[in-house]
Amino acid sequence: AAVSDTERVSVTEEKRTLTLCGHVGFDSLPDQLVSKSVSQGFCFNILCVGETGIGKSTLMNTLFNTTFENEEASHHQNTVYLRPRTYNLQESNVDLKLTIVDTVGFGDQINKEESYKPILDYIDNQFENFLQEELKIKRSLHNYHDTRIHICLYFISPTGHSLRSLDLVTMKKLDSKVNLIPLIAKADTISKCELHKFKIKVMSELVSNGVQIYQFPTDDEAVTEINSTMNAHLPFAVVGSSEEVKVGNKMVRARQFPWGVVQVENESHCDFVKLREMLLRVNMEDLREQTHARHYELYRRCKLEEMGFKDSNTDAQPFSLQDVYVAKRREFVAELQRSEEDMRQMFVNKVKETEAELKERERELHERFEQLKRLHQEEKRSLEQKRRELEEEMNSFSRRKVAAEALQACTLQSSITHTIKKEKDKRK
């Protein structure tokens, strides 16, 4: 007989609890999971945001008790760029692939309006790379190098007054994309009383500007007490140093001053131990989980919605990737046709403009030609008039010349006749 929907739901929701009569063995699942995780290794990615020279590299060296390769950055960077460095670390039998991303040139420009954009682009690019790997037909997520940022340590200058506009804008842009923990850097440069007031001021400004920083989880009974206590200490005031100073009978990491020694791992001097405890020893897995389940999931959902994917309802038809592909292809073809039509119309308009411009130039040339033609005809008439005048002058000159020659001949003849007559008279 057919089973109604109500009966099917009741059967599905019914839970049966059985008592085992002996040891079966699935209680070893946590051990199997630990063994598998240890064999695969872990990855952890830290983004350090802060101005040049604020102590980001020194704190990383202090945090992992090693010396990473450090390349000093100039204060004259035209733009902000991110420099990731990946290291393979091992402690006991646990392998950790650590990536430290430094923001080179952050806050060094005169115009700091777009200083945060390269950071956002880098975070989104890492999400996009992971999403593209997930969407592949042949995926290899088990050996994929996950470069998504798990924690962003934002270094605040110990001014003792308030946060800069750049700090507030940048943290507001980052809080929805990454787990954000603010740090007061170089806490040994500010007095204890001023530091306490500065912490209250920083948290007040973050709350009033709606900046959501990472809160250590309190849902696990094992870490509820310590995480609740540490949440009240945010932002951490830290001091970093790789130098060892002799205090009493032992060598400790500290900063030597003429007036005394600031011990890095002394909780009465700074919050470095609290940061290391919360970041590495208690909440590292939660940071990784929050990155995947919250920040990456938000990015993934937005990207899939942009691509046309949507969740199907239980009463509707099952979701079809082929339908989405066909719909997006039609949309793309329609957009392509619109672009082609726009380009064709633009080309026609350009041709018309060119034709009108050529016709205008042709008209101008024709008018110029007619003007030159008229000038030529006027000059031709003027030359013809001058030629006629010159010919008349030449004819007049010729007539005068002939008359002069005739007169000269008559005069010469008369002179000869007169001379001959004189000669004859003399002879007589």
pLDDT in tens, 136-153: 888 887 788 899 999 999
- Mean pLDDT for 30-38 is 87
280 and 349 assigned to the same domain: no
128 and 223 assigned to the same domain: yes
Q: Is residue 133 part of a domain?
A: yes
Long-range contacts of the stretch 80-87 (C-beta < 8 A, 24+): 80/104, 80/105, 80/106, 80/109, 80/115, 80/117, 80/118, 80/119, 81/105, 81/118, 82/118, 82/119, 82/122, 84/147, 86/145
What's the mean per-residue pLDDT of the chain?
86
Is pLDDT of 407 > 50?
yes
Q: Is residue 26 part of a domain?
A: no
- Mean pLDDT for 267-287 is 91
Q: Decide: pTM greater than 0.85.
A: no
222 and 358 assigned to the same domain: no
144 and 280 assigned to the same domain: yes
293 and 174 assigned to the same domain: yes
Q: Domain of 324?
A: 319-402
Quick: pLDDT tens for 347-404.
Answer: 999 999 999 999 999 999 999 999 999 999 999 999 999 999 999 999 999 999 999 9
Q: What percent of the chain has pLDDT over 90?
A: 48
- Mean pLDDT for 203-230 is 91
282 and 326 assigned to the same domain: no
290 and 339 assigned to the same domain: no
Is pLDDT of 261 > 90?
no
Q: So what's the pLDDT on residue 48?
A: 94
119 and 195 assigned to the same domain: yes
Q: Is residue 11 part of a domain?
A: no
267 and 385 assigned to the same domain: no
User: At which of 307, 335, 355 does a domain end?
Assistant: 307
User: At which of 245, 272, 307 does a domain end?
Assistant: 307
Is pLDDT of 70 > 80?
no
Contact 184, 159 (CB under 8 A): no
Is pLDDT of 176 > 60?
yes
How many structural domains compose the chain? 2
256 and 388 assigned to the same domain: no
Residue of higher predicted confidence among 262 and 287: 287
Question: The CATH number of the domain where 275 resides is what?
Answer: 3.40.50.300
Residue 1 binned pLDDT confidence (cut-offs 50, 70, 90):
very low
265 and 342 assigned to the same domain: no
190 and 141 assigned to the same domain: yes
